[in-house]
Structure 1
């Protein structure tokens, strides 16, 4: 299958490209490199440095004629969305509609969309399943949820099957220390610099941390499964920030000092997923434990001599 991956030079997208090639698929990448790095891509993968809002996107889709689209390109910063809601909506909503139009015009047979746990807002119950009420607390959460309506409309009107994957907190190799849910990348960066970790609140807030390779595997599975389904992709395991720090101490074998500050305004205290839907419809089972994933992430930074500059991981080659 020929698959167009938007944001394919980024953290998650590049892992999806790797797994597409490993499983015998062909990949094309569109990425504006706002946060991605072309060096993450195998040299044989066709790459277009194009923003999903550009007119050139239609020409690329017409020329390449992909069978499927995996849409990872997005603006993922909550503070940016609060400061610039128009810019956030332009990328995440308008950009997705343009991609859907290109897919419709060129006969794409499957559209996979990366949504977010941010669509749920403050949980009314735990674990969060796909029937949980949607109540986003930020423009980012709104702009990730709104395209879900468009996907349903394009399926009803034009017959384009979709799968919506709502991600928990993704971490792993190639992640940069900005964007939604990047706490592990931030902590690893500070540990390597010998700097203390700062925690907002008491550290008892919990999240569902899933390794990027498992996220990529869910996207690959969705190419042939879970038609017109909305699925949570996480581990189903709740981990507190304090527990995360203890694991980081263990895997890094370094002394880590921690300072605690006031609760961050608007922060959700507890969140983790029910992933029964993904198990049933995708045959999905996360393979990488949090400890193993932290070891892989730290080893990657050390082995690639990553320079931590201006919040972006730049690999020395």
Structure 2
């Protein structure tokens, strides 16, 4: 966003990242905890046109103690909207997840699909969406909800905890162990979108003048985990001349049927994907070459 000319204030949880180039592009960098009311009051004391709320525990962490999980995944959404709705905020972009839809089987998923979350991660994001919808109805803040599929891509900072993401994890495993080991038979299906395309999607939503409030942010391409592994194998062979073995568990008793997370609505804003899967995999291997000695 800074590269696009926006004056960006970044919120960091524990410290300012040791990346001087990145810091120099920020208008401000604030360090604090979104569960801290005093820090939230400080954040809200500044005047902003747009707030992009990305804070959330990951899927596994969201299975923890409900009091703690809701203090991170839910309460800050309410707190920020309560504070900023009183100070003239224009747009609030809330990052939800496609997991609010629940089980996906043999269908095209549009934003109008009934929500049916199957885990605490999806449930807490549905609650966040409800809060946004409430403030859309009762205040002048224009809340936009982003239902993200599965992102991937090289980290901006060394300390970024992004290697648990499926594509990232498999690339790192391939690079370090010279093998790809799957935790399933490879049949689970996923829609993957590169992190830089996610950023471009946010910009498209910020600049959109339509009346839509919810967008699927996805590639619109569904692949099985084994297909992802095979693609990584191909890229690795092209780069390093090494044929990687792929190890998968025995067949699961049930097979997922193909689905598509439709991204027509966000494309109507002028958004288009720029990163192919090949480009994204090569970027990850470039990063691993620089940082994994």
- Is the TM-score greater than 0.5? yes
> Matched residues in 2 for 1:65 and 1:28: separation?
11
**Matched residue of 1:113: which SS?**
strand
Instruction: State the partner residue of 2:111.
Output: 130
- The 5 A counterparts of 1:1-317 are 20-33=1-14, 37=17, 39=19, 41-45=22-26, 46-54=28-36, 55-62=38-45, 64-76=46-58, 78-174=59-155, 176-177=161-162, 182-194=165-177, 196-225=179-208, 226-253=210-237, 254-261=242-249, 271-280=259-268, 282-303=269-290, 305-306=291-292
TM-score, structure 2 length as denominator?
A: 0.87
Could you report, residue by residue, the CA deviation over 1:37-72 in whole angstroms, capped at 9, with x for unpaired residues? 45383324211111112122222221x211110111
Q: Alpha-carbon deviation of 1:154?
A: 0.7
CA contact (8 A) 1:200 1:263 kept: no
Q: For structure 2, which runs of at least 5 residues remain unmatched after alignment?
A: none
Counterparts of 1:191 and 1:91, CA distance in 2: 33
1:198 and 1:267 mapped to 2: Cα distance? 19
| Runs of 4+ deviating beyond 4 Å | 262-271
Residue range with higher mean Cα deviation, 197-206 or 151-160: 197-206
Secondary structure of residue in 2 paired with 1:209? strand
Structural RMSD (CA): 2.5
Q: Give me the whole-angstrom Cα distance separating, in 2, the residues matched to 1:108 and 1:26.
A: 15
SS in 2 for 1:203: coil
Pairwise CA distance, 1:119: 0.6
Shift of 1:200: 3.0
Q: Which has the larger radius of gyration?
A: 2
Residues 264/29 of structure 1: CA separation in 2 closer, same or farther (3 Å cut): farther
Residues 276-313 of structure 1 deviation map (CA, whole Å, 9 limit, x = unaligned): 11112x2221111111111122212323x247xxxxxx
Tell me the distance in 2 between the aligned counterparts of 1:269 and 1:154: 37
- Give the direction of change, closer, same or farther, for the CA distance of 1:79–1:289 in structure 2 (3 Å limit): same
* Alpha-carbon distance between aligned partners in 2 of 1:215 and 1:291, rounded to the nearest angstrom: 17
Report the CA distance between 1:177 and its aligned residue.
4.3
* 1:43 counterpart SS class: helix
TM-score normalised to structure 1 length = 0.81
